[in-house]
Amino acid sequence: MNIHSHSPVRSGTGRRYSSVAIILHWTTALLVISMIPMGWWMVRAIDKPGTQQLAYQLFQVHKSIGFAILALTLLRVVWRLTHPITALPAGMKGWERLLARITHIFFYGLLLAIPLTGWAYVSAGWAIGTDRPLMVATSWFGLFTIPHLPGLEGMRMLAFGAMGAHAYMAYGGTLLIGLHVAAALKHHFIDRDGVLAQMLPFLRSKGHDVHHAPAGKALLPRSAGIAFVLLIGLVGCWLHLPGPRAETPATAAKATAPATALDSPVATASDAEANATAWTIDKAASSIRFTGTHAGKAFDGRFDKWNGDIRFDPANLAGSKAIITVNTISAKTGDATQEGSLKNGEWFSSVRFPEARFETTSFRPLGGERYEADATLTVKNKTIHVILPFTYRLQGDKAAGVEGDVELDRAALDLGMFSDPAAEWVSKTITVRIIVTATKP
Ligand code: HEM
């Protein structure tokens, strides 16, 4: 409740908005005006190959600006509730004053409801354009990840309804912006009552007599403003609700995809048998990287945190063993959105499963410096059998280098199978490259 709007004595508060109110108003206005064409363009560009990559990046910009608008609006609401509002000119007719107040409340309502429905939509992780799951993290201008609203994942109807409300309220809001601007111009050029100058510091205000709303009169504009927001949101939501979902090859693929995974770990050589030389890994000269494609563009990532216990001797392959554990939350690609997504439940689920484990079961010589390791790889609760061909090269008496690539089928490890089972966004094959430089004690 606005504690000041009913105050009969507000000397001086009727003439100009405070600097904070003016800054909040114009920043929000500029951001909102940029969001409408941006939103319109990106939803149309996302499924065209030539514009998909740019649209994908724009989605992140759109979400980031949207969250900034939400934060600014919350700040504005607090400011408005704790500071006197600027009174309207006494010359305004009663219905004009009512319309003005309803419009203002309507704006506040939209500025909260549009970002919140956008947030609900992305939290549901369902792309309405393709009617498929698509969970993408929100990275705020690449600086940090904004979490999804809890409990909404996979809610298809909610995604359609929220985006219907989002679009209707956003486009409805543009009509209102038009009305708002027209009213401001009428005040300035026709009524010449200085109302526009209250918000535009460089315009000189002639000042005007002010009208203070009597106690109890604020309830009507508030209820009407909020009712309009709800009405337009509900209409948009209702008109957007989808029919039953057609079964697509992608959804069918999701059901059968992890068929190649072994759900129980395979047997491993015991530690007692691993009696070959233990090597000390030189972390600075070693790395675990992964490559693939995302939205048609190659990515190259690495794990920053991992450990290895390597006992390898070409003359004692039976007693050789390597165990590498990787901290999945340390995956870095240089793209905050991808990094945010990788931690999610459908990818590494890093909170539940912080570690991935690679453990060799046997080695084979392939001739010269070439070898091959049979190993198990456990990611989350999936364990698969992998073969890692590698080169082993001595570097003097005390050091050696190992280099190998393994191609992983992410479907077998149940990675990204909620949003992208058909590999339309992220390649199905992810190549992991292991480079280890180690020294003998
Ligand atoms: C005042 C702030 C915002 C405005 C004015 C706005 C406006 C729009 C507009 C006009 C569209 C195009 C709708 C269509 O043509 O179907 C759109 C789409 C979208 N908005 Fe916003 N938006 C805002 C905030 C947000 C926020 C905070 C988020 C997410 C956190 C968000 C997420 C989205 C997404 C994901 C789409 C595309 C939906 C699709 O895949 O079709 N928006 N927005």
Q: How far is ligand 1, taken at its centre, from the CA of residue 114, in Å?
A: 8
Q: Which atom of ligand 1 is nearest to the CA of 36?
A: 10
Q: Which atom of ligand 1 is nearest to the CA of 138?
A: 30
DSSP letters, 356-405, are: EEEEEEEEEEEETTEEEEEEEEEETTEEEEEEEEEEEEEETTTEEEEEEE
User: Which strand (E) or helix (H) includes residue 11?
Assistant: none
Please tell me the predicted confidence (pLDDT) of residue 219.
Answer: 77
Q: Which atom of ligand 1 is nearest to the CA of 121?
A: 35
Q: How far is ligand 1, taken at its centre, from the CA of residue 318, in Å?
A: 59
Mean pLDDT for all residues in the chain: 82
Please tell me the predicted confidence (pLDDT) of residue 246.
Answer: 56
Q: How far is ligand 1, taken at its centre, from the CA of residue 164, in Å?
A: 10
**Full-prediction pTM beyond 0.85?**
no
**Which residue puts its alpha carbon closest to atom 39 of ligand 1?**
43
Closest residue by Cα to residue 279 from 391, 436, 152: 436
The residue-averaged pLDDT of 112-117 equals 98
The residue-averaged pLDDT of 247-269 equals 35
Please list every protein residue whose CB sits less than 6 Å from any atom of ligand 1: 32, 35-36, 39-40, 43, 59, 62-63, 66-67, 69-70, 111, 114-115, 118-119, 121-122, 127-129, 138, 163, 166-167, 170
Please tell me the predicted confidence (pLDDT) of residue 372.
Answer: 93
Is the pLDDT score of 231 beyond 60? yes
Please tell me the predicted confidence (pLDDT) of residue 359.
Answer: 93
What span, in angstroms and rounded, lies between the C-alpha atoms of 328 and 388? 20
Q: How sure is the predictor about 397, in pLDDT bands with cuts at 50, 70 and 90?
A: confident
Closest residue by Cα to residue 363 from 312, 433, 435: 312
What confidence tens digit (pLDDT) does each residue in 45-60 have? 987 878 888 888 899 9
Is the pLDDT score of 232 beyond 90? yes
Pocket test for ligand 1, best of 114, 175, 337 (most atoms within 8 A of CB): 114
Three-state secondary structure call for residue 435: strand
The residue-averaged pLDDT of 365-383 equals 91
What span, in angstroms and rounded, lies between the C-alpha atoms of 331 and 341? 10
71 vs 271, higher pLDDT: 71
DSSP letters, 158-198, are: HHHHHHHHHHHHHHHHHHHHHHHHHHHHIIIIII--SHHHH
What confidence tens digit (pLDDT) does each residue in 270-317 have? 555 677 888 899 999 999 999 999 888 899 999 999 999 999 989 899
**Which residue puts its alpha carbon closest to atom 31 of ligand 1?**
118
Is the pLDDT score of 15 beyond 60? no
Please tell me the predicted confidence (pLDDT) of residue 202.
Answer: 65
Please tell me the predicted confidence (pLDDT) of residue 189.
Answer: 76
Q: How far is ligand 1, taken at its centre, from the CA of residue 406, in Å?
A: 40
pLDDT more than 70, % of the chain:
83
What is the residue extent of each domain of the chain? 19-240, 258-439
Closest residue by Cα to residue 432 from 409, 412, 414, 416: 409
Is the pLDDT score of 204 beyond 60? no
CB 404 within 8 A of CB 388: yes
197 vs 47, higher pLDDT: 47
Is the pLDDT score of 337 beyond 70? yes
Please tell me the predicted confidence (pLDDT) of residue 410.
Answer: 92
Please tell me the predicted confidence (pLDDT) of residue 166.
Answer: 97
Q: How sure is the predictor about 80, in pLDDT bands with cuts at 50, 70 and 90?
A: confident
What confidence tens digit (pLDDT) does each residue in 263-276 have? 323 233 455 567 78
- Going by the DSSP 8-state scheme, the letter that residue 93 receives in this structure is -
Q: How far is ligand 1, taken at its centre, from the CA of residue 48, in Å?
A: 18
Class of domain 258-439: mainly beta
| CA angle centred on 123, ends 117 and 127, rounded to 5° | 85
Q: How sure is the predictor about 18, in pLDDT bands with cuts at 50, 70 and 90?
A: confident
* C-alpha to C-alpha distances, 394 to 188, 255, 287, nearest whole angstrom: 83, 47, 18
Is the pLDDT score of 179 beyond 70? yes
Please tell me the predicted confidence (pLDDT) of residue 207.
Answer: 53
Q: Which atom of ligand 1 is nearest to the CA of 127?
A: 40
Is the pLDDT score of 250 beyond 70? no
- Going by the DSSP 8-state scheme, the letter that residue 430 receives in this structure is E
